[in-house]
Amino acid sequence: MHGNPMPDSYVYVTEEGVTRHYADGSVEALAWEDVVEVRVVTASGEDVLYILLDRDGENCVVPRSATDATFLARLRYLPDFDLERLTLAADSGHDGVVVVWRSPDPPSALPDLEYD
**What sign does the dihedral 49-64-9-74 (CA atoms) show?**
positive
Ramachandran assignment for 45, one of left (phi > 0), alpha (psi -120 to 50 degrees), beta (any other): left
| Fold topology of 9-102 | PH-domain like (2.30.29)
Mean pLDDT of 70-74: 93
Q: How far apart are CA 73 and CA 83, in angstroms?
A: 9
Mean pLDDT of 19-33: 94
For the whole model, what pTM was predicted?
Answer: 0.83
How high is the mean pLDDT of the chain?
Answer: 87
